[in-house]
Structure 1
Amino acid sequence: MADHNFNLPPGFRFYPTDEELVVHFLHRKAALLPCHPDVIPDLDLYPYDPWELDGKALAEGNQWYYFSRRTQNRSTNNGYWKALGIDEPIMSSGGKRVGMKKYMVFYIGEAPSGIKSSWIMQEYRLSDSGSSSSSGRSSSKRRGHSKIDYSKWVVCRVSERNSDDDDDGTELSYLDEVFLSLDDLDEISLPN
């Protein structure tokens, strides 16, 4: 997609569910299949601070969407993205695990002493293995799609959470609210 300011027709909004982001967008990207319409741009996220995404990523409301290469370096010139807690599985409507979601908060300054900002990111990746289904049919499908590289691509949803916005149109799951309310999950031991 050359034009990052892709506009949907009047009345249409881009509010995909977690499952739709993984199944209809990220899986097609990883499998090198075309996606019509091609609305989510490729963006090397980590050189950009979140407030620089406007005009570079697909914007819908106060959310920005883009594909990025998966990397461990989540630093920018002015801060870094810090992962919160454990990854949440993304389940299909059929009950199969299709991907994982990682929650992050942007901190301004140098790690580990940065100042927590109001910017949040949900980074979606495909399941590392297709082990969510054990049927022979899906394993033969996977062999047929040998071009899929589950580790290279992620799709990101970034938004700025405003304390004065009680209802900004963003629907957060119960787990989203729990993760965002905790300052540091390193001090909490979760059961296995």
Structure 2
Amino acid sequence: MGYPIGIGYRFHPTDEELVGYFLQQRAKMGNQFHSNEISEYSEFYGQEEPWVVWDKNGGSSVDDGEPLFFFTKRKKLNPNGKRFDSKVGSGTWSGQFSREVVAEDRDTGCRITGMRREFRYEGGCDPEQNNSWLMQEYELCATDVLVLCTLKKNPRKASSAKRKRMACPAVRSEKAETCEEQQSTICVDLEETNSESRDHQLLQVVDEDYLPELFP
């Protein structure tokens, strides 16, 4: 019995393929272009936090380290300007790196020079989520509103959190053992102190001149 085509399939396009085919075709064909691997999500740059976008678009079913892909539109800071708004949810996409992507249009064979920019989520309302999300933005032209974006979890932040979770039980155990030892020592000290105190009190009530009567 054969397996469906989807078994074992991974969507791992190169930067050149994302720019030269997927983004180029989407720009040419508009909404008529469809891809099973790349979602249309107009609110990627909006009021929703990255983890909300992740959950809404099936992030829970993605393998660790794998991204989600989106066609979306950037929002200009000024309708007549060239700069785009980098805010997302309560935070912002902070730029880190950028590089040119040179690809070929499969239909015309013409060389296309796009751009890939990398961002990191910062300044959000939840400190635990800051630096936990990474985004890549692919554009055909610096003035284009349409872009192709990827979203994924920051593997460094995830591995750091995992190490902390693994270390915490051992630390708590060591602390618990230390506390138990301290409590045990305190109890022994109290018992010895109370015993000495009782003995001391018994010795104090005996008069040195007192001699017990002798009975035949």
Which of the five TM-score ranges fits, normalised by the shorter chain?
0.5 to 0.7
> Secondary structure of 2:131's partner?
strand
Q: Which runs of 5+ in 1 are unaligned?
A: 1-7, 129-149, 167-192
| 1:38, distance to aligned residue in structure 2 (A) | 3.8
1:68 aligns with 72
2:115 aligns with 100
| 1:41, distance to aligned residue in structure 2 (A) | 1.5
Q: Distance in 1 between matches of 2:124 and 2:8?
A: 40
Preserved contact between residue 97 and residue 127 of structure 1 (Cα < 8 Å):
no
Corresponding position: 1:90 with 2:83: no
Q: CA RMSD in A?
A: 3.0
Give aligned-pair identity as a percent.
27
- Quick check: 33-42 or 16-25, which moved more? 33-42
CA deviation map 1:34-59 (0-9, x unaligned): 44544312212122221112354475
Q: Distance in 2 between matches of 1:17 and 1:127?
A: 19
> TM-score, normalising length from structure 2?
0.52
Structure possessing the higher relative contact order (Cα contacts under 8 Å, 6 or more residues apart): 1
CA deviation map 1:121-172 (0-9, x unaligned): 11000135xxxxxxxxxxxxxxxxxxxxx71210001111222659xxxxxx
Question: Which residue of 110, 116, 119 maps to 2:133?
Answer: 119
Aligned residues: 133
Corresponding position: 1:53 with 2:64: no
Q: Which runs of 5+ in 2 are unaligned?
A: 76-83, 161-216
Preserved contact between residue 67 and residue 155 of structure 1 (Cα < 8 Å):
yes
| 1:14, distance to aligned residue in structure 2 (A) | 0.9
> TM-score, normalising length from structure 1?
0.58
- From the CA coordinates, give the structure whose radius of gyration is larger: 2
Q: Distance in 2 between matches of 1:155 and 1:105?
A: 16
Instruction: Give, as a single letter, the amino acid of the residue that structure 1 aligns with 2:137.
Output: E
Q: Which has the higher helix share?
A: 2
Q: Which has the higher strand share?
A: 1
| 1:98, distance to aligned residue in structure 2 (A) | 2.8
Preserved contact between residue 57 and residue 66 of structure 1 (Cα < 8 Å):
no
